[in-house]
C-alpha cells in the first residue's frame, strides 16, 4: 500500500495530543490559537519576544523554495506585528530568532508520500523548526506564525514544543472556476489561505457547463467558444502550479466528463450525444448535453486533450469528473440505444462505466492516475483510481471495501452554508466507514472541502470559504480525537482574524459589500442586523429565483457570512437565562432598538437592494421585544400566560421562515426563551 | 505666456457654478456627491438606470488609452454596483448606455497645456461624455462614476448636464518614497486615487537623506549603497509613468540637492562638503551632509545623473529640490569658505544660489525645465523655473511678482494631520497673492498636496492621504467660489467610501491596524475610543520620541485617522445643546460607558501597544460624564455651581494635552458644554 508514514503513526499521535489538550484544559497553560491543532504539544517555560531584532536563519538543506518561504514569513510577521524587520536572512544561526533546519529535498513532484512532519521548539531565547523536507518546514512556519501573539509584554511566541504531522495525506479544497470565473489573483489568495491552515491539494474544477477555463493549444476553440474570454492561459496555469508548489500544495486539475460538458460542446458540438449547436450554459442545475460514449471521435479528442493537459499539470492525479450524468441525451438517441443493446449495456450507468473504461486508459497512457466523483465507482473501474465521495459517506466506505483509494467530500460542501461545527463533526473514518477493517481504513486518504460557485464571485468567494475551511482543515490534519467544538470555535474566531494577515478578503469584502448595499451610507445598523442573519442552507437558493451566471450577486444574502457568530454566542447565553440575564437583555435591547430604528428602515427603503430585507429587520425587532418580555416573566418567577405564549409562537413561526433567502438565526434561541417563560418558576 | 485655455476661462465658470450650487441649496435638486465640484452643473429631468444592460461605446477619436480607460470604467462600475456587466465595448453607439466621444489625440507628453475639459450629459435614456482629448474624457469618466448611486429604484445616475474644466493646470500630490519606501503597488494605488479626484501631477520625491530610490545604470552605487535594496528599477519607473499617463497624470521626479543627500553621499562621499564616509540616515530632521558646490566633480556627476534621469522621465519638468540646506558643512570647510570669499558669496544662501545657477543649465541642457522648493527663489534663478512654495504663501506671491511660475504647497501638507477644512480654506489666489495683478496671478499654476512619510508606511499611507486629499483636489479643480465647508464635508464622507471602490486602503488598513492592536480580539470598543481621537498636529511627533526609520509604526496614533468625523459632528450638535439634547446624551452615554468598560481597559492592559492609551480611554469617559452633568444643568435651567465648573476645567485641561501622541477631539465641545452649563438659564 502507498500510504505514508505520517498516516501510519496516527494511532500514537492521537494519544499524545489528548494528553496535551487535557493539560491545557485543566492546567493554567494558555489555550494557544493554533488551527489545525498539532499532533503533540508540550507547553514550555517563558516566551520568545518578537521585536525588531527578529531574524531568520536557514541551516541544513537549502533551496529557493525554502528561501522564498522564509522571506514570506518575514513579510507576514511584519504584517502581523507592524515591525519593520530586516529582510535579510541571518547567516549565523546562533544569532537568529528562528532557525529553520531542513534535512533534504522533497519530492520533485509532491505526492501523497511527501513527508510533511516537523518539530517546532520555541524557547525564550530562540525558536527552532526542524523538518525532513521543505514541505514540513512550510507547515511548521505557519504554526510559528500562528503562535505569535500580542500581550502586555509585546509581541511574542509562548515557549512550546510541538511535534506535528498530518492525520491524512490528502487534505484538499476544490474550487469551481467555471460557474463564476476566478482570476489568478483569487486563486493565489486561496492558495495562501490553504497553506496557512496546512491544506495540501488544490482541486481545480476547470470545466463545466458554464465554462471551459483553460487554454488548449491543440483545441483552441475550447477557450474561444467555451469561456466568454475568461480562461487561464497555459502560462497562468504554470504560474499557479509554481505558486502552489512553493506553498506545499499539489494542483489536481479536473475536466468534468461525460456530463457537465456544455461549454466544451459549444466548441465541439460533434462530440455530443444529440445534435448541436450548443452554447455556454447560463443557468444552474443538471443539464442534458453529454459526450457520446459510442463515438470514437470522442476518445480521439480526449486522448489529445488529456495528453495536452497531462503535460501541463505535473500532479500524479488527473480528475475526470463523472458526476451528475442524467442520461437523457443517451436515452433519446436511437443510435446510442442500439449501441447499448449491441454491447449489453443495460442502462445509462452501464454506458457511463463503458465510457470510463475507455477514458481511464487514456489518462493512464499519459502517465496519470484517475480520480473521479463517486459515480465512477462501477464494476470495472481500475484499482488505481481514487473515488471522491460527494453524495454521502457510504460510497467512501464502499470504495475502500472494494479496494479503491477514496477521499471524502460529502459533509464538506462550503457552498451549502452549513456551520463550521457541522463540517467539523464529519470525520472520514467515522459513520459509514467506522466498520471498515484497518486495512480498508488505510484506503481513506483524507478529504476535500468543495466550493461550488453558483452563488459566489471573486468578490465574495473568500466570505464563503473562510474561516469555515479552517475547521475542515483541522479535521483532516489533527488527530481524530481533536473534536471539542467549543475549543474549535474559540480558536476559529482568532484564526479568522489571523487569516486577514495572510491576505484573505473575507472581512474586507463583507464590509465593502455592506457599504455598497447602503449606497455608501454608514453601515453600523445594517451590520447589526446582518450579524444575526445567515443565508438559507443547502440548495434552497437555486429554487428561490431564476438565477443565472449573469445575475448580480450583490444582495444582503450575498454578503452575509454563512455562519452567525453573534447568534451562536447568543444561543449559549440563553441556555442559562437567569445567570446571563444582563448580557441577554443588553443584546435584545440593542436588536430591538436597531430593527425599529427609523434611520435603518428609511435607509433600507431607499436602497433597492435592501428593501426585501425590511421584514427581517422588523422581525428581529419583534423577536427581541418578545425575548425581553420572556426575560421579564422569567425573572418575575411567574409563568407567562398561555395567550402570550401563543402570540409569540406565531411571531416565531413567521420569523423562522426564510425571506430574501436569509434566515434569522436568533429565532431558535428566542423560542427557547419564550418556552422557558411559559414554564417559569422560582 | 503658457497657461492653457481652461485656466483663462475660470472667471466665467465661477459664475456658472455659483448659480448651479445656489439652485441646489435652495431648490429641491439633490446634493450630488461630486468631488471636485464641476465648474457648471445643470440638473435635468429623470434618471439613467444602471442595470445589467449597461454598455459603453467609444465614438470619434480612439486610442488604446481610451479603450483601457473604458475597460476600467466598466470594472469600476462592476465593483460599485456588483452587477456583472458585459466587458465588451458596444459598437453601435445608439445602443450604448454611455457614449464617450473624443475629438483628437492629446499631447504625446502631457503638459500644462493639455485640454482637460469635458461635457457630460446624462439623460434618462443615455449618457454622453464629450471631450476634446482623452485626458478630458478620463476626467469625465470619473465624474460619471461618482454620479452613480443607489436609491429605491436601483443603481442609476441623475439626469444632469455638466460642463467642466479645471481652475488650475497643476494639481499635484507629492509622495515621499525615501523615508519609508513605497512599493510600486502603493504608488499605483495612489495614482488611481489621484485620477479619481482629477489630480494631474504625481511629484515623486525619489531621493533624500534616508534613501535614493531609483536605479541608476550610470551610477549603480546610488541604489547599491543608498537604498537598503529598496528602490525602483528603471523598468518599474517606466511602468509607473505609463500607469500615470493612462490616467492623465504627469510624473515629475525630484532629486533633492544640494542638501537631503546623505543617501547619495553614502554612495559617493567624495562629492560631499565634508569628509565621509556617510551612511544612510535613519532619523528624521535636517542633516548636515551636503553636496560641495565648489567641486567641479559634483557638476560632472550631476550632468550624468540628470542626463540619465531626464531620459527616463518624459515630463517637461525636473525637480531639483533645494530645500533645507543648513549650510553647516559649508561653514566648517575652510576651502569652501575661501571659495565663497573669492567669488564674493556673502553667505550660504549665496552659495546655494551659485549651486543652482550651475545646476539649472544642466537640467536645461537635457531638455527640461526646473522646478524647486522655494529656497531656490534667489536672484539669478532662470525665469523658466517653477517655484514650489512650501514655507508659506509669501514666496508664492513673491515668485509670481518676480515673473516666475509658481505652485502652492504651504497649507497642503497632509502629514501635518490638519483637518480637511484647514486645507480646503487655503487658496493659491487668496491671502498673500490676492494683491497680485491679473498678469501676475496667471503665473500661479496651482498647487500640490505633500505627503512626507516620516510617520507613514505602505500600510498606513492611504489613511494619511485619503480622503483629505480630495478636498485639496477640489480646491485646485473647482471654481474659486466653491468653498462651502459643510457641503465639502457632506460630499467628502461619501467620496471617502466611493474611494474604496477605486481600491484605496484607507478604511481597510485602519480596520486591520486596530485588529492588530487588540491582538486579534474584537475591535468595536477600541473603534469607539479611536473615533474621537486624532494624532497630534504639525511636527509634534518628531519631538515626542527618538524616532527612526526602523521604529515600528504600529501604535494607535499610527492608525487613528487624521481627522475625527465623529468629533466634528459632535461639535455641531453641541453648538445647540438644547435642541440636540437627546443626540448629545446618547453619544456621551456610549462614550462614558465605553471608556469605563472593564472589557476595554483589560484588553488595553493586555496589549503592550495599547497600554499607553489607557489614560485617553479614561479621560474620554470622564469628559463624557462631565458632559452629561453639564447637560443636566442646562436642561434644569439652573446654572452649575462654580466649584463644579472649576473641577471640570481641571479635567478638561488635562484631557486637552496630548498623550501617546494623540488628542481627544471631543474635549473642546465638552468645554463648551461645561461653559454653557455655568451660564445656564431658562
Residue A545 or B564, more confident: B564
CA distance A389 to A323: 10
Residue-wise pLDDT for B582-637, tens only, equals 999 999 999 999 988 888 999 999 999 999 999 999 999 999 999 999 999 999 98
The residue annotated as part of the active site, out of B224, B308, B324, B515, is B324
**Whole-number pLDDT of residue B31:** 72
Looking at the complex, report in whole angstroms how far the Cα of residue A411 sits from the nearest Cα belonging to chain B. 29
Nearest chain B residue to A503 by CA: give it.
B512
* B:14-33 residues touching chain A, CB 8 A cutoff: 33
- If pLDDT is split at 50, 70 and 90, which confidence band does B8 have? very low
Give contacts of A 599-658 with B, CB under 8 A.
605-609, 611
> Is B644 a residue whose pLDDT tops 60?
yes
The span from the first CA to the last CA of chain B, in angstroms, equals: 64
The predicted pLDDT at position A590 comes to 95
Q: Tell me: pLDDT of A243 over 70.
A: yes
Residue A335 has pLDDT above 90, yes or no: yes
Residue A597, chain B, CB below 8 Å: the answer is no
Instruction: In whole angstroms, give the CA distance from residue B489 to residue A88.
Output: 45
CA max distance for chain A? 80
A79, A554, A611 ranked by CB distance to B81: nearest: A554
Are the beta carbons of B492 and B215 closer than 8 angstroms? Answer: no
Cβ within 8 Å, pair A500-B519: no
Task: Return the pLDDT at A10.
Answer: 32
Q: What is the pLDDT of residues A131-171, one digit of tens each?
A: 999 999 999 999 999 999 999 999 999 999 999 999 999 99
Sequence-distant (6+) residues with CB within 8 A of B137 are B66, B69, B100, B102, B118, B129, B131
Catalytic site residue B324?
yes
* Distances in whole angstroms, Cα of residue A436 to Cα of each of A287, A382, A407: 36, 21, 15
Model confidence at A1, pLDDT cuts 50, 70, 90, reads: very low
Contact B427, B480 (CB under 8 A): yes
- For residue range A284-297, what is the model confidence (pLDDT) as tens digits? 999 999 999 999 99
Tell me which residues of chain A, numbers 226 to 245, contact chain B at a CB-CB cutoff of 8 Å: 229
Separation in Å, CA of A509 to nearest CA in chain B: 10
**Residues in chain A closer than 8 A to B229 (CB atoms):** 87
Predicted pLDDT at A219: 98
Rounded CA separation B209/B258 (Å): 11
Q: Which of A63, A67, A324, A647 is catalytic?
A: A324
| Predicted pLDDT of residue A681 | 59
Show residues of chain A in contact with B605, CB under 8 Å.
152
Measure the CA angle with vertex B435, ends B432 and B440; round to 5°.
Answer: 95
Contact yes or no for A150 and B605 at CB 8 A: no
B522-547 confidence digits (pLDDT tens): 999 999 999 999 999 999 999 899 89
Q: At what angle do helices B234-246 and B64-81 cross, to 10 degrees?
A: 80
d(CA A124, CA A679): 56
Average model confidence (pLDDT) for chain B? Answer: 94
User: In sequence order, what DSSP letters do the residues of B383-435 get, joined into one string?
Assistant: TTPEEEE-S-HHHHHHHHHTT-EEEE-TT-BGGG---HHHHHT--TTSGGGTT
Which of B552, B558, B605 to mutate to probe the A interface, most A CBs <10 Å?
B552
Q: What are phi and psi of A642, to 5 degrees?
A: -60, -40
Please say whether the dihedral angle defined by the alpha carbons of residues A211, A214, A215 and A216, taken in this order, is positive or negative: negative
Q: Do A150 and B511 touch (CB under 8 A)?
A: no
Closest CA to B414 of B241, B561, B542: B561
Report the C-alpha gap between B654 and B631 in whole angstroms: 21
Chain B contact for A282 (CB, 8 A cutoff) = no
* CA B76 – CA A295 distance, rounded (Å): 46
pLDDT at A308 over 50: yes
Q: Which DSSP helix (H) or strand (E) runs through B129? A: strand B127-131
Q: Which residues partner with A447 through β-bridges?
A: A171, A408
In the three-class reduction of DSSP (H, G, I as helix; E, B as strand; rest coil), residue B158 is classed as strand
Query: Is B266 within 8 Å of B226 (Cβ atoms)?
Result: yes
Question: Are B497 and A508 inside 8 Å of each other by CB?
Answer: no
CA distance A60 to A66: 11
Residue A151 near chain B (CB below 8 Å): yes
Q: Give the per-residue pLDDT at B681.
A: 60
d(CA A256, CA A244): 22
Contact B606 A152 (CB under 8 A): yes
Residue A380 has what pLDDT?
A: 81
- pLDDT for B9 beyond 70: no
Q: What is residue B682's predicted lDDT score, i.e. its pLDDT? A: 53
Q: Show which of residues 154-183 on chain A sit within 8 Å of chain B, judged by CB atoms.
A: 154-155
pLDDT at B405 over 90: yes
> Which residues contact residue B342 at a Cβ distance below 8 angstroms, ignoring those fewer than 6 apart?
none
- Asked whether the predicted pLDDT for residue A83 surpasses 60, the reply is yes
DSSP-assigned states of every residue in B171-222: EEEEEE-SSS---HHHHHHHHHHHHHTT--EEEEEEEETTEE-B--SSSTHH
CA distances from B544 to A38, B197, B282, B538, B557 (A): 44, 34, 16, 12, 12
Q: How confident is the model at residue A679 (pLDDT cuts 50, 70, 90)?
A: confident
- Judged against a pLDDT cut of 70, whether residue B21 lies above it is answered with no
Q: What is the DSSP string of A319-380?
A: E--------HHHHT-HHHHHHHHHTT--SHHHHHHHHHHHHHHHHHHTT-EEEEEGGG-STT
Of the listed ranges A319-323, A390-394, A531-535, B285-289, the least confidently predicted one is A390-394
Q: What is the mean pLDDT of residues B378-384?
A: 87
Q: Are B113 and B4 in contact (CB under 8 A)?
A: yes
Q: Do B516 and A81 touch (CB under 8 A)?
A: yes
B 503-532 → A contacts, CB under 8 A: 507-508, 511-513, 515-517, 519-520
Residues 6+ apart with CB under 8 A from B611: A152, B604, B605
Residue B1 has what pLDDT?
28
B537: how many CB neighbours lie within 10 A of its CB?
15
* A85, closest residue in chain B (CA to CA): B550
Look at B554 and A507 and tell me if their CB atoms are within 8 Å: no
Residues B441-491 pLDDT 10s = 999 999 999 999 999 999 999 999 999 999 999 999 999 999 999 999 999
pLDDT tens-digit map of A191-217: 999 999 999 999 999 999 999 999 999
Please report the pLDDT score of residue A272 as a whole number.
98
Side-chain half-sphere of A82: how many Cα atoms within 13 Å? 29
Report the pLDDT value the prediction gives residue A382, as an integer from 0 to 100: 85
- How far does A554 lie from chain B, in Å, by closest CA? 5
Span B344-364, average pLDDT: 95
Nearest one of B251, B196, B116, B246 to B466, comparing CA atoms: B196
Nearest Cα to Cα of residue B563 among B534, B525, B606: B534
Average confidence (pLDDT) over A67-95: 97
Q: How far apart are CA A69 and CA A145, in angstroms?
A: 12
Residue A379 touches partner B, C-beta closer than 8 Å: no
Q: How many CA atoms lie within 13 A of B148 on its CB side?
A: 27
Chains A–B, number of C-beta pairs less than 8 Å apart = 108
Supply the Cα-derived Rg of chain B in whole angstroms.
27
Answer yes or no: are the C-beta atoms of B186 and B70 closer than 8 Å. no
CA B233 to chain CA mean position, Å: 25
Which segments of B313-374 does DSSP mark as H helices, in order?
A: 328-331, 334-342, 348-365
DSSP calls for A255-323: E--SSS-HHHHHH-GGGBSS--------S-S-----B-TT-HHHHHHHHHHHHHHHHH--SSEEE----
Q: Does A459 touch chain B (CB under 8 A)?
A: yes
Residues in A closer than 8 angstroms to B280, CB to CB, are: none
* Most B CBs within 10 Å, among A150, A494, A528, to test the B interface: A150
Is pLDDT at B671 greater than 60 in this prediction?
yes
For A582-616, what is each residue's pLDDT tens digit?
A: 999 999 999 999 988 888 999 999 999 999 999 99
Q: Which residues of A touch B33 (CB under 8 A)?
A: 520
Q: How many residues does the structure list for chain A?
A: 682
Strand partners for A413: A450
- pTM of this structure: 0.94
In what helix (H) or strand (E) does residue B120 lie, and over which residues does it extend?
A: strand B118-122
The SS3 call for residue B151 is strand
Q: Can you give the length of chain B in residues?
A: 682
Instruction: Return the SS3 of B581.
Output: helix
Q: Cβ contacts (< 8 Å) between A507 and chain B: which residues?
A: 511
Residue pair B532/B574 in contact (Cβ under 8 Å)? The answer is: no
pLDDT attached to residue B661 = 98
Contact B552 A82 (CB under 8 A): yes
Distance CA B447, CA A253 (A): 55
pLDDT digits 0-9 by tens, B286-326: 999 999 999 999 999 999 999 999 999 999 999 999 999 99
The answer on pLDDT for B129 being more than 90 is: yes
Amino acid at each position: 500500500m502507498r500510504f505514508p508514514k505520517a498516516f501510519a503513526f496516527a494511532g500514537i499521535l492521537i494519544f499524545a495530543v489528548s494528553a496535551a489538550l487535557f493539560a491545557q484544559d485543566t492546567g493554567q497553560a494558555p489555550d494557544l490559537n493554533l488551527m489545525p491543532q498539532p499532533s503533540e504539544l508540550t507547553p514550555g517555560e517563558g516566551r520568545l519576544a518578537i521585536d525588531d531584532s527578529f531574524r531568520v536563519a536557514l541551516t541544513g538543506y537549502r533551496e529557493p523554495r525554502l528561501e522564498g518561504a522564509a522571506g514570506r514569513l518575514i513579510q507576514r510577521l511584519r504584517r502581523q506585528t507592524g515591525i519593520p524587520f530586516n529582510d535579510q536572512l541571518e547567516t549565523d544561526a546562533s544569532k537568529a530568532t528562528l532557525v529553520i533546519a531542513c534535512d533534504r529535498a522533497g519530492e520533485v513532484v509532491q505526492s501523497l508520500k511527501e513527508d510533511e512532519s516537523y518539530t517546532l521548539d520555541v524557547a525564550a531565547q530562540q525558536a527552532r523548526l526542524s523538518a525532513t523536507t521543505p514541505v514540513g518546514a512550510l507547515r511548521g512556519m505557519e504554526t510559528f506564525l500562528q503562535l505569535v501573539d500580542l500581550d502586555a509584554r509585546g509581541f511574542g511566541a509562548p515557549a512550546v514544543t510541538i511535534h506535528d504531522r498530518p492525520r491524512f495525506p490528502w487534505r484538499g479544497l476544490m474550487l469551481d472556476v467555471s460557474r463564476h470565473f476566478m482570476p489568478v489573483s483569487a486563486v493565489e489568495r486561496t492558495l495562501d489561505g490553504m497553506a496557512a491552515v496546512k491544506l495540501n491539494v488544490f482541486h481545480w474544477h476547470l470545466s463545466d457547463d458554464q465554462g471551459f477555463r483553460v487554454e488548449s493549444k491543440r483545441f483552441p476553440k475550447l477557450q474561444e467558444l467555451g469561456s466568454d474570454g475568461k480562461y487561464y492561459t497555459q502560462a497562468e496555469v504554470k504560474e499557479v502550479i509554481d505558486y502552489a508548489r512553493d506553498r506545499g500544495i499539489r494542483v489536481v486539475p479536473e475536466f468534468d466528463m461525460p456530463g457537465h460538458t456544455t461549454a466544451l460542446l459549444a466548441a465541439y458540438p460533434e462530440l455530443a450525444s444529440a445534435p448541436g449547436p450548443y452554447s455556454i450554459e447560463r443557468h444552474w442545475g443538471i443539464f442534458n448535453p453529454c459526450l457520446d460514449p459510442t463515438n470514437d471521435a470522442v476518445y480521439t479528442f480526449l486522448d489529445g486533450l488529456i495528453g495536452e493537459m497531462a503535460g501541463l499539470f505535473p500532479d500524479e492525479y488527473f480528475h475526470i469528473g463523472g458526476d451528475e450524468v442524467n442520461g437523457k441525451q443517451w436515452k433519446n438517441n436511437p443510435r446510442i440505444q442500439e449501441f447499448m443493446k449491441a454491447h449489453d449495456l443495460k442502462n445509462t450507468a452501464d454506458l457511463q462505466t463503458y465510457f470510463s473504461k475507455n477514458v481511464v486508459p487514456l489518462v493512464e497512457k499519459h502517465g496519470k492516475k484517475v480520480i473521479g466523483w463517486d459515480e465512477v465507482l462501477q464494476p470495472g473501474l481500475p484499482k488505481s483510481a481514487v473515488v471522491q465521495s460527494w453524495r454521502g459517506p457510504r460510497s467512501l466506505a464502499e470504495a475502500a471495501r472494494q479496494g479503491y483509494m477514496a477521499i471524502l467530500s460529502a459533509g464538506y460542501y462550503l457552498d451549502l452554508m452549513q456551520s463550521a461545527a457541522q463540517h467539523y463533526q464529519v470525520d472520514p473514518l467515522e459513520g459509514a466507514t467506522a466498520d471498515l477493517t484497518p486495512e480498508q481504513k488505510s484506503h481513506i486518504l483524507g478529504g476535500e472541502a468543495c466550493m461550488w460557485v453558483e452563488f459566489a464571485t471573486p468578490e465574495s468567494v473568500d466570505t464563503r470559504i473562510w474561516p469555515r475551511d479552517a475547521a475542515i482543515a483541522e479535521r483532516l490534519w489533527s488527530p481524530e480525537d481533536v473534536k471539542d467544538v467549543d475549543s474549535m470555535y474559540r480558536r476559529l474566531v482568532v484564526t479568522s482574524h489571523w487569516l486577514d494577515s495572510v491576505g484573505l478578503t473575507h472581512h474586507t469584502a463583507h464590509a465593502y459589500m455592506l457599504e455598497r448595499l447602503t449606497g455608501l451610507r454608514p453601515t453600523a445598523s445594517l451590520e447589526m442586523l446582518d450579524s444575526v442573519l445567515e443565508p438559507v442552507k443547502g440548495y434552497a437558493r437555486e429554487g428561490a429565483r431564476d438565477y443565472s451566471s449573469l445575475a448580480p450577486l450583490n444582495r444582503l444574502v450575498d454578503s452575509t457570512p454563512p455562519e452567525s457568530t453573534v447568534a451562536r454566542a447568543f444561543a449559549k447565553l440563553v441556555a442559562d437565562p437567569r445567570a446571563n440575564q444582563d448580557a441577554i437583555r443588553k443584546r435584545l435591547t440593542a436588536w430591538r432598538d436597531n430593527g425599529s430604528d427609523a434611520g435603518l428602515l428609511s435607509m433600507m427603503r431607499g436602497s433597492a437592494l435592501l428593501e426585501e430585507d425590511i421584514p427581517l429587520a422588523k422581525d428581529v425587532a419583534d423577536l427581541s421585544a418578545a425575548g425581553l418580555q420572556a426575560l421579564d416573566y422569567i425573572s418575575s418567577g411567574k409563568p407567562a400566560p398561555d395567550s402570550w405564549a401563543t402570540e409569540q409562537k406565531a411571531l416565531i413561526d413567521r420569523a423562522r421562515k426564510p425571506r430574501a433567502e436569509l434566515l434569522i438565526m436568533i429565532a431558535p434561541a428566542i423560542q427557547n426563551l419564550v418556552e422557558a417563560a411559559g414554564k417559569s418558576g422560582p
